Amino acid sequence: MFLEPNFRGQRSGWIEVVCGSMFSGKTEELIRRLKRASFANQKVQIFKPKKDTRYDDTNVVSHDENAMASTVIEKSTEIYDLLDQVSVVGIDEAQFFDNDLIDVCQKLAVKGIRVVVAGLDMDFRGKPFGPIPGLLAVAEYITKVHAICPHCGSLATHSYRLSNEEETVVLGEKDKYEPRCRICFEMANILDFRVR
């Protein structure tokens, strides 16, 4: 379904991206922004990828167990058919979606919808992850949040995988990942490479 642009009678929407490493508070910030919009009597709808089942099959849940009901989808273009007269759309774990998400978000913004997207900006290798780099390029507002590196106390920007799995997408929590600063991330990768 193509959303007709709304050039009259309503101001333009926009795209906000909240990104960072694991355990940096991305989902917590997404939920906070959507709850504030709800308190302002704005109709909010939140979407999450079907593959994200870590805390709950349907709710969006932060690491500190703050939760919000969501609509589970497999492909980003499903958003078009599931929208219900909303003024704010939230999208969690955006790195798990296809690259069509960039176009979907832009069309929603042109329609006059505020779009708030949260996701990892880098995978466990330290490489740009999924549609997030493209969303960062087209977003009006970008918030990079940080965790704390448990090894040195610096700001953590990377998600270090503790397991030996090589697939890009491996669901897990503190059992499989920890936040690391750039130096501790690089040092661990050098040591891992020597061991393998």
Which are the catalytic amino acids?
93
CA-CA distance, 89 to 166, in Å (whole number)?
33
Beta strands 158-161 and 67-68 are unpaired
Output the six-digit token pair for 152.
Answer: 């040195």
Give ∠ CA 96-97-100 in degrees, rounded to 5. Answer: 155
> Do you know the residue count of the chain?
196
Tell how many helices (H) and how many strands (E) occur in the chain.
5, 12
Count of Cβ atoms closer than 10 Å to residue 44 Cβ: 19
Read off the DSSP letter of residue 65. Answer: -
